[in-house]
Amino acid sequence: MSAAALPPATGEFTTEQKEYLQGFLAGVAARVPFVGETGAGQFTADPASGGQNLAAPAETIHGTPLADVCKQELWKHEKHGLDCWDRILAHAEANQMPNDEDTFRFRFYGLFNVSPAQNSFMLRCRIPAGELTSAQLAGLADIADDCGNGKAAITTRSNIQIREIAPKNLVNTYTRLQQLGLTSRGSGVDNVRNVTASPTAGFDPQELIDVRPFAHALHHYILNHRDLYDLPRKFNVAFEGGGAVDTVADTNDIGFMAVRVTEKALTPALSHPMGEGESSAVSSENQSAVLAGQLSAKNRMSAGCSPLPSDGRGVRGEGQVYFRVELCGITGHKQFAKDTGLLIKPSEVVAVAAAMLRVFSEHGDRTDRKKARLKYLVDKWGVEKFLAETQKKLAFPLVKLAPELCERRQPSIPHGHIGVYRQKQPGKNYIGAVIPVGVMTTKQMRRLAEIAANYGSGNIRLTPWQNLLLPDVPDAFVETVKRQLVRMGFHYEATNVLGGLV
């Protein structure tokens, strides 16, 4: 508007000016506020500079375009595996086997379509640390009788599987499993499988620490985080407590291996953590005291050290119990896990596992399932980059220590999962029984449950060798239990052949 059109300083707006202002204000009121992005990614209110970016960006899965991902990733994108319960109900009602897509999704609930071998399903449980009660074992026998083929198999992940489940029994099988305090969620396809632990944890005289609490903590963390049900491929985690019977942790994607470290060896590592700009270092005023072994338990905590085990789960003696971290065990590719150099406090293991799982989920290959395991990501990046990406997700610095600076662990007992062995609890023993090819009839399962309840503590341990242990048997009942096992067709004497069977 020209200067001549401006109203006099002391006068009123002309009719022409009023009409112009009314039209201008009406246009402003009608205009929808605009927000867009410039080519540089900045937000703008100017349609001219931001309009070219109004189109929605192409969909991706962790940065991989949908056009490039494999079909299984598309199936998960279209309908998450945990959202298929309505489909399970429908197939159970119709007693109908699922198509390929639903077959894939049903595995998120641990329900496996085993056709064409059999026109039926297999249920795979999740039994963290391989620890069962006698009531749970008897309950699994009831499920196998009512819904399966009257048998159950122990797996190489210290787990239980029940076969020949008709589609009509899917819902009944799953809900009855939950009533036992067990679950099968996430036991198949692209999930963290059953978390394993040393079979003799808690009663092994040689163990450095009872690893069951860590296995159970990670188990529940996984169950309650939906994003961990959508990994690029399956993932295995194991906790090894340093006892006489190991859990073949070096065959897992992540293996946490308990070690004991003296304060003298530990101090330099704590002084040089991995995190940039962060430090868990022992203070300079405390270093000499640590090296001299004069740091009190209270000051040890404030100095950044872990406390000596004081809860009964760790062995007494000099040094502190930590975990070393091994990565990328994958038996199908004939590769055992390798030490990363990391030394982790017991209180940090679940957080480290969670961070590593997120790095794998975000950067693992989703285009080729044959190259989607953690091994391939670490092969591509190298261990150091993987650890650096893990560090970015942690609020505490990672620490490294050379393996030779840790105390030498006592050797494991060959075939220590078979036979009769003393526990660290006075007057108690555990008995390892050979289960031929890992398969038990429901009659045998119920009898084992009775033996565990009547002669032990009602606790049963499954092993990665597809055998089981009966712990807490008093000295007075050992011979009785041995006779009972033989009558059932189970051996308890270790041989090179029986001890190595998987």
- Taking residues 329-355, report their average pLDDT: 94
Q: For 478-488, what is each residue's pLDDT tens digit?
A: 999 999 999 99
Burial environment of residue 95 by CB neighbours within 10 A (0 to 12, 13 to 18, 19 or more):
exposed
- Taking residues 156-176, report their average pLDDT: 98
- Higher-confidence position of 355 and 7: 355
Please say whether the beta carbons of 429 and 480 come within 8 A: no
- Name all domains of the chain by residue range, CATH numbers in brackets: 76-179 (3.90.480.20), 247-405 (3.30.413), 419-500 (3.30.70.3340)
d(CA 302, CA 304) in angstroms, rounded, equals 5
Residue 336: pLDDT over 90 = yes
pTM (2 d.p.): 0.82
- Taking residues 56-76, report their average pLDDT: 91
Please say whether the beta carbons of 107 and 189 come within 8 A: yes
In the chain, the N- to C-terminal Cα span, in Å, equals 90
DSSP 180: T
d(CA 339, CA 502) in angstroms, rounded, equals 25
* 64 sits in which H/E element: strand 64-65
d(CA 188, CA 184) in angstroms, rounded, equals 9
Q: For 192-230, what is each residue's pLDDT tens digit?
A: 999 999 999 999 999 999 999 999 999 999 999 999 999
Tell how far CA 50 is from the center of its chain. 44
Contacts of 5-10 with C-beta under 8 Å, sequence gap 24+, read none
Determine the 3-state secondary structure of 43 from DSSP: strand
Please say whether the beta carbons of 239 and 214 come within 8 A: yes
Residue 280: pLDDT band (50, 70, 90) is very low
How far is residue 9 from each of residues 2, 5, 469, 484, measured CA to CA in Å? Answer: 15, 12, 100, 112
> Residue 184: which of 251, 231, 229, 246 has the closest Cα?
229
d(CA 477, CA 460) in angstroms, rounded, equals 16
**Least confident segment among 79-88, 266-275, 322-331:** 266-275
DSSP 380: H
Q: Tally Cβ neighbours within 10 Å of residue 332.
A: 8
Q: For 128-139, what is each residue's pLDDT tens digit?
A: 999 999 999 999
| Signed CA dihedral, 460, 188, 78, 116: sign only | negative
Note the helical H segments in 31-108: 47-50, 71-78, 85-94, 100-106
In the numeric block, the tokens 């980059």 are attached to: 385
* 176 sits in which H/E element: helix 170-179
Q: For 18-50, what is each residue's pLDDT tens digit?
A: 777 677 666 655 665 666 666 666 666 666 665
